[in-house]
Structure 1
């Protein structure tokens, strides 16, 4: 549940910040009349995201007949979720400083076109976060609870509601939050969550018969990590760390988590300094003179 809460909080805050930028721009530019179009686009993005999440769940539970088909479907969605999580984390780290200016520029262009363009721009700005949330949530919930509990869904909703409250307080200047540190810490935790999802995807590929070695365990720490304890449940639900993983599962978890985490946490290179202007020639030396050009 904490993993899905983190997903809802992180993705929800990103979407909330996008909405805040759009609304603040219209309010400050005295164009409140365009707010209904923005909210229409946002509502359509939320509706499509919910529909996408329902479609994934419906496909897994109803459209697929055999357990092997469901395992293979879950494996593919898990790998896709890991790709989206990784891309989202690194993209947000790179674009965080320029996203506000880009959104204002796109909204200005949309305002010049008309109401439909404003709604479409708001829709596109939010729908990416919504679709990512639906896909990542499904994979995280499957790896944590096998889809048998409503706890992950409630945790996701709780994370989104928390993000909305934080976003509103930031918009009203009632709360100060170091967003750089927030996205760094949540990004690092999401990388570990994604490693667990990737491990779960490998496990599903093995159960579907695509990959071998399902019963070839890398180690057995059941005596130390008792599955019935709360901390074992926390590690399993949060990062999919289990007592008896297969060799391929363990390799997948480490092969993803270690390099991606190191790349994410390393300090970005400092921007290059502009070249210094050429030094003025010493007094008394001849300097070339450019002849004035004729009009």
Structure 2
């Protein structure tokens, strides 16, 4: 449960954006009487999915190889989380800047690249970008493959219903809700990376365990706020990336990052 729900939401959010991009392109081609390019859109989307799977496979093999070396596995997990966070932050910033006008952005790109190769390239790049983001989150966030695939499958079904006008939904509200969750998970990923990094430095005897850097901000692991089993702590862990006994540096950096990203989003909305 603790890893399934975050993976489900992550897979749904990113899958939905990828599939809706295809839906927007197909609807524009139909509206502009350019249905002959639909096959190029489907081809681009399919290749984008395969490219995403390739990226995911490469990351999986790298992670599996490194995790065999117990003495450096935690250091690897920490480094991987920080690298992934940098990439994910760039994705989040792009969504903050362009998410509100996604339909217009996609339509303008299609309009200015209305050719077989143009439609193929746009669809491929956009779907591959979303797929790469999913792969990076899976790689660094320890989400289960089942949860991710369930979320993506739900997103595909949802997009099909939207395409055939079987349901109507306020996409702006939906994307805002899922973007909030994405920012929270990115902050948690940063905190996780710092925690694993400190643990690795201690186990490798690079830093003594008595060093003040390991000082806890608080410790409520023996209460209902325990992030693994607590009645309140576990839901908070799943939904918001709560940790019941963080180091001070982990706690401060995680939430400074989280509130900063929300501040950037707020400033963008005010423009």
TM-score w.r.t. length of structure 2: 0.83
Q: Which sections of structure 2, spanning at least 5 residues, go unmatched?
A: none
Alignment partners' CA distance in 1, 2:166 and 2:119: 28
In structure 2, the partner of 1:146 is: none
**12, 15, 38: which is aligned to 1:9?**
12
- 2:185 corresponds in structure 1 to 193
* Alignment-derived partner of residue 219 in structure 1: 218
Partner of 1:135 in structure 2? 136
Q: Is 1:259 aligned to 2:260, yes or no?
A: yes
User: Which residue, out of 146, 156, 171, partners 2:148?
Assistant: 156
> 1: distance between equivalents of 2:83 and 2:156?
26
Larger C-alpha radius of gyration, 1 or 2? 1
Cα distance in 1 between the residues matched to 2:259 and 2:117: 45
Structure 1 residue 180 corresponds to structure 2 residue 181 = no
Q: Which of 24, 29, 36 is the aligned partner of 1:33? A: 36
Residues 42 and 122, structure 1, Cα contact 8 Å, conserved in 2: yes
Q: Deviations over 1:200-223 (max 9, x none)?
A: 111122133288767432221123
Moved more, 164-173 or 95-104: 95-104
1:52 aligns with 2:58: no
Shift of 1:20: 0.5
Count residues with an aligned counterpart: 259
Q: Can you give the 5+ residue segments of structure 1 that lack an aligned partner in the other structure? A: 143-151, 271-295
Match of 1:243 in 2: 244
Q: Which has a greater percent of helix?
A: 2
Moved more, 170-179 or 229-238: 229-238
Q: 1:109-167: per-residue Cα shift (whole Å, max 9, x none)?
A: 4444xx3443222211211111011101222226xxxxxxxxx2211111111211222
Distance 1:98 1:261 in 2: 19
Cα RMSD, aligned residues only:
2.5
1:166 matched residue in structure 2: 158
* Secondary structure, counterpart of 2:269 in structure 1: coil
> For 2:219, what is the secondary structure of its paired residue?
coil
CA distance in structure 1 between the partners assigned to 2:105 and 2:265 by the alignment: 23
Calculate the TM-score normalised by the size of structure 1. Answer: 0.77
Mark the CA change 1:20 to 1:141 in structure 2 (over 3 Å): closer, same or farther: same
Supply the distance in 2 between the matched residues of 1:192 and 1:63 (Cα, whole angstroms): 27
Supply the distance in 2 between the matched residues of 1:228 and 1:197 (Cα, whole angstroms): 20
Matched-pair contact (CA < 8 Å) for 1:213–1:247 = no
Q: How far is the alpha carbon of 1:181 from its aligned partner?
A: 1.6
Q: Name the CA shift for 1:262/1:116 in 2 (closer, same or farther; >3 Å).
A: closer
Q: Encode CA deviations 1:49-105: one digit per residue, 9 max, x unaligned.
A: 111112112101125653344333322332233333333334223323543344334
SS at match of 2:142: helix
Q: What are the equivalent positions in structure 2 for 1:84-103 lying under 5 Å apart?
A: 84-103=87-106
Deviations 1:184-206 (A, max 9, x none): 22211221111111101111221
Q: How far did 1:15 drift?
A: 0.7
